[in-house]
Amino acid sequence: MDELWTNLRRTQVFNIIGLLGVLVLLNTNGVESGKKAHNLESFQYPAISCRAHSVSLEDFGGVGDGTTSNTRAFKAAIDHLSQFATDGGSQLYIPPGKWLTGSFNISTSHFTLYLHKDAVLLASQDESEWPIIEPLPSYGRGRDNAEGGRYSSLIFGTNLTDIVITGDNGTIDGQGEPWWTKFRAKELNYTRPYLIEILYSEKLQISGLTLINSPSWNIHPTYCSNVIVQGITILAPVTSPNTDGINPDSCTNTRIEDCYIVSGDDCVAVKSGWDEYGISFGMPTKQLVIRRLTCISPTSAVIALGSEMSGGIEDVRAEDITAIDSESGVRIKTSIGRGGFVKKVYVRRMTLKTMKWVFWMTGNYGNHPDNNYDPKALPVIQNINYRDIVAENVTMAARLEGIPGDTFSDICISNVTIGLTEKPKELQWNCTDIAGIWSDVTPKPCDLLLDQGPEKIKQCKFPENSLPIDNIKIRTCCNKNF
Ligand SMILES: *[C@@H]1O[C@H](CO)[C@@H](O)[C@H](O)[C@H]1NC(C)=O
Ligand SMILES: *[C@@H]1O[C@H](CO)[C@@H](O)[C@H](O)[C@H]1NC(C)=O
Ligand SMILES: *[C@@H]1O[C@H](CO)[C@@H](O)[C@H](O)[C@H]1NC(C)=O
Ligand SMILES: *[C@@H]1O[C@H](CO)[C@@H](O)[C@H](O)[C@H]1NC(C)=O
Ligand SMILES: *[C@@H]1O[C@H](CO)[C@@H](O)[C@H](O)[C@H]1NC(C)=O
Ligand SMILES: *[C@@H]1O[C@H](CO)[C@@H](O)[C@H](O)[C@H]1NC(C)=O
Ligand SMILES: *[C@@H]1O[C@H](CO)[C@@H](O)[C@H](O)[C@H]1NC(C)=O
């Protein structure tokens, strides 16, 4: 390995791989030479961009034994690949194995990380493997702790263009248990790390992976545009703290589709900054489509909008959503002091089973970063549309709670059938400080929503036009590129 390592310092990597190819071809025993042969395995995958150069983590001293730290190998490989950013881009291939690593940075654009289906990235449980980074400007502080910074995510990147993190359903294992324990015991001085966080970037694809046991949130694209999250499985114990699935945060033009999420917090949580920090940063999440999501989240929402929404959330489309044993459907969470807005939200075709609430809006979520929030900063919640929903075994149809003097308005609910559990709440719709309309909904909504009659069913519209993110071209990439 040392010899190979030294060679790499001087030689074009694909020449080495070509040489290995010859060696493997000369070797009749394909199984025993399997370790290197993975470089030559032909694989194809869909991506926004294909790459001209590819190396394997093993070529940079990576050891997939589950106990050797690969943090330096990741850095060496990505440092090496950064020379190709303007020369066709590059790919880092993770072969079968258990690759223990601390936090590492994607520090080059036009880059793909590809995990073989039997590759597992094991997140280190050694806190010294996790650099402390600044809080996000739109949050002012870390989510867990008032003081100090936050642990950098396992895979971190900032100010990048054209990044693909994908695989043939390879696994990223956050090994979150000790983080959860320390968080519960208030023993952490910094905010827990996420699994993938990419900031200030354009053209991002995260797909074809299974993420398990994250220390906290799983996927956090922030201040990004043109984001695709597709075909992701996220699993964490339903009792684990804040293991949100996918959290688009101050992002424009995002598509989340074909994901399966079982977690201890919201399956998808749409965000845009926190109170005075989010207001002054002023960057909304807009043009977001979420489709074909399957969620199990017994203590949280299938899709949450907020509670950090101070930069605004606008034009969210959710369709073909399936949930089992979840607390609520598409929930709006906000508070006095948040400012910002949640508007133009369109939801259609949800199938829900065993829910506490189908509809839930909360205007008094609280949870402020500090006491400097502006009590006059009231959120605007407006134009929220739900249609074509079937729910079974529901405890309470709706809890819609606006803010006194700040009515949540233009709510529209149509074509909804809610079957109740054996012991339903007596009051099925509890509404305060909201306004809107409904048609064809059972059980019958509260009086603050006005009955339009069944013929007005088309009123809760869903946009006919598609978002620009649906027009991004996906190519078929393969390792023959190098
Ligand atoms: C990644 O980059 C950030 C700054 O962009 C830095 O603070 C952090 O230490 C880097 N992480 C590693 C593992 O080098
Ligand atoms: C990243 O981009 C943001 C926004 O343009 C900028 O404020 C910041 O300084 C950049 N950071 C780096 C490390 O280039
Ligand atoms: C990926 O792996 C997970 C965990 O083993 C599994 O539940 C899921 O069905 C797999 N997804 C695909 C697309 O194969
Ligand atoms: C947290 O900070 C305290 C006080 O500075 C220190 O004693 C403790 O070791 C720190 N804990 C960790 C896990 O870094
Ligand atoms: C009402 O919703 C159900 C379930 O999504 C759907 O099958 C049906 O076509 C909808 N009806 C109308 C009139 O849109
Ligand atoms: C219905 O919901 C209750 C909780 O309210 C749950 O205990 C029960 O198992 C559910 N029944 C079915 C048939 O899913
Ligand atoms: C209805 O909601 C209000 C708050 O919006 C709450 O104070 C009240 O207790 C609720 N009523 C019932 C019967 O749950």
- Which residues, 6+ apart, have CB-to-CB distance to 139 below 8 Å? 273, 274, 277, 278, 308, 369
Phi, psi for residue 292 in degrees, rounded to 5: 50, 55
The rounded distance, in Å, linking the Cα atoms of 150 and 44 is: 37
Task: Spell out which residues line ligand 2, taking CB within 6 angstroms.
Answer: 158-159, 200
DSSP 3-state of 27: coil
Please state whether the peptide bond connecting residue 443 to the residue before it is cis, i.e. omega within 30 degrees of 0.
Answer: yes
> Does any ligand 1 atom lie closer than 6 A to the CB of residue 103?
yes
Kindly provide the b/e burial profile for residues 308-337, where b requires at least 16 CB atoms within 10 angstroms of the residue's own CB. bbbbbbbbbbbbbbbbbbbbbbbbbbbbbb
Contact call for residues 251 and 290 (beta carbons, < 8 A): no
Look up residue 346 and give its amino acid: Y
CB 135 within 8 A of CB 57: no
Give the mean pLDDT of the chain.
91
Whether 430 is in the pocket of ligand 6, judged by its Cβ within 6 Å, is no
Please tell me whether residue 330 adopts helix, strand or coil conformation.
strand
Q: In angstroms, what is the span from residue 389 Cα to ligand 6's centroid?
A: 19
Closest atom, ligand 1, to C-alpha of 103? 13
Out of 265, 275, 388, 433, the active site residue is 265
CA pair distance 165, 172, nearest whole angstrom: 11
Active site residue 265: yes
Pairing of strands 380-401, 252-262: unpaired
Smallest CA separation from ligand 7 atom 13, residue: 427
Do you know the residue count of the chain?
Answer: 482
In this predicted structure, what is the pLDDT of residue 453?
A: 85
When computed from its CA atoms, the radius of gyration of the chain, rounded to whole angstroms, is 24
- Proportion of the chain above pLDDT 90, given as a percent: 87
Mean pLDDT of 226-237: 98
Q: Which ligand is nearest to the CA of 298?
A: 6
The span from the CA of 102 to the CA of 215, in Å, is 13
Contacts of 59 (CB under 8 A, 6+ apart): 4, 8, 13, 16, 17, 39, 77
Q: What tens digit of pLDDT does each residue of 98-155 get?
A: 999 999 999 999 999 999 999 999 999 999 999 999 999 999 999 998 877 999 999 9
> CATH for 266-472?
2.160.20.10
- Report pLDDT for 232: 98
Task: Out of 32-36, 143-147, 298-302, pick the least confident.
Answer: 32-36
Summarised one tens digit per residue, pLDDT across range 236-274 is 999 999 999 999 999 999 999 999 999 999 999 999 999
Give the global pTM: 0.92
To which CATH superfamily is domain 45-229 assigned?
Single-stranded right-handed beta-helix, Pectin lyase-like (2.160.20.10)
